[in-house]
Amino acid sequence: MIGVFDSGLGGLTILKHFLKELPQYSYIYLGDSARTPYGNRSQAVIYNYAKEAVDFLFSKGCRIVIFACNTASSQALRKIQQKYLPKKYPDKKVIGVIVPLVEESAKNDRIKRIGIIGTKATIASNIYAKKLSKLNPKLKIFEKSAPLLVPLIEEGWIKKRETKMILKKYLRELKTAQIDALILACTHYPILIKDIKRIMPKKCLIYDTGKIVAKSFKKYLEKHQELKINQSSSPICKFYTTYNISSFKIFGKKFLERKISKVKKIKL
Ligand code: DGL
């Protein structure tokens, strides 16, 4: 069983690609919608929430948990991997979404100038800039936090004129910086990918986050056979939310692009 954790619904944009790329596995998705957005919270709070999510997913039989959430990946993952797992779950793994995105962008030598948009916490962590410049010190990096986008998307305001205007405003600096590529460092932003592509110049490469993460995860599983994650001809996919089941089903369908059943509400 593979656990996928997000602060809300956005991680379904990543799960969607796992289901395409690795359909032979069973998944448990946990969305902490009751406490979303994580992006405006402190590192200590995000770490505690992430720990609770990990405990829950391991208690349900997951052998590995993926933090689909960029905010949790940037603020809590390292500490979970280095301090929490060795003590409490030495045979289990938790991985995030940042390394695959960084590796994919750093290896493309056509990219000289790169932009990153994410939540306040992800951008404040500076993690993308640090990791990117380690792999490619010549890269010019431009970061922008876009804190209003998550609440607008969670509210279902995806097609509203106001959302497009705010998005345009957030992207203005990156457009002026003439970036060659843009990393959508937040689970929710792929939902706006068509608008982002319309706003940014054609030559700007916009990564399909979920696709890259899923491909990298496939390689990871091939390397880590010791995890012994069962494959099945009839895999299952279960969903847990900390908020409202019917809104998870209604809005989640947009993110996952398929009908969602088997949703349970839990308290972390
Ligand atoms: N899932 C978060 C991320 O990818 C966005 C939502 C939030 O702020 O909690 O950063």
pLDDT of residue 58: 98
Respond yes or no on whether the N-terminal peptide bond of residue 151 is cis (omega within 30° of 0): no
Kindly state if the Cβ of 210 falls inside 6 Å of ligand 1. no
* Boundaries of domain holding 228: 2-96+211-265
Output phi, psi for 65, to 5 deg.
-125, 135
Same domain, 149 and 23: no
Look at residue 154 in the predicted model and tell me its pLDDT: 81
Q: 176 and 130 in one domain?
A: yes
Determine whether the shortest distance from the Cβ of 188 to ligand 1 is under 6 A: yes
Active-site residue, 186 included: yes
Whether residue 108 sits in one domain with residue 131? yes
Residues 156 and 200 in one domain: yes
Domain end residue (candidates: 188, 209, 230): 209
Among candidates 117, 122, 115, which has minimal Cα distance to 74? 122
Query: Among 194, 209, 224, which residue terminates a domain?
Result: 209
* One domain, residues 193 and 235: no
Query: Is residue 201 domain-shared with residue 236, that is, in the same domain?
Result: no
Same domain for 228 and 191?
A: no
Q: Give the C-alpha separation, 101 to 127, whole Å.
A: 12
pLDDT (tens, 9 = 90+) of the chain, 268 residues, equals 999 999 999 999 999 999 999 999 999 999 999 999 999 999 999 999 999 999 999 999 999 999 999 999 999 999 999 999 999 999 999 999 999 999 999 989 999 999 999 999 999 999 999 999 999 999 999 999 999 999 898 888 999 999 999 999 999 999 999 999 999 999 999 999 999 999 999 999 999 899 999 999 999 999 999 989 999 999 999 999 999 999 999 988 988 999 998 899 999 9
Query: In a mutational test of the pocket of ligand 1, which residue from 4, 5, 6, 14 has the highest number of ligand atoms less than 8 Å from its CB?
Result: 6
Q: What CATH number does the domain containing 45 carry?
A: 3.40.50.1860
Whether the CB of 185 sits within 6 Å of ligand 1: no
Statement to judge: residues 24 and 74 lie in one domain: yes
Angle between helix 209-223 and helix 12-21 axes, rounded to 10 deg: 50
Question: For this structure, is 204 an active site residue?
Answer: no
Same domain, 92 and 113: no
Tell me the whole-structure pTM to 2 decimals: 0.95
**38: Cβ below 6 Å to ligand 1?**
yes
Q: Are residues 154 and 198 in the same domain?
A: yes
205 lies in the same domain as 215: no
CA nearest ligand 1 atom 1, residue: 69
Q: Which residues have C-beta within 8 Å of that of residue 168, sequence separation ≥ 6?
A: 199
d(CA 46, CA 265): 20
User: Can you give the pLDDT at residue 251?
Assistant: 86
Same domain assignment for residues 259 and 135? no
Given 164, 191, 209, the domain boundary residue is 209
Instruction: Give the total number of structural domains in the chain.
Output: 2
What span, in angstroms and rounded, lies between the C-alpha atoms of 143 and 122?
10
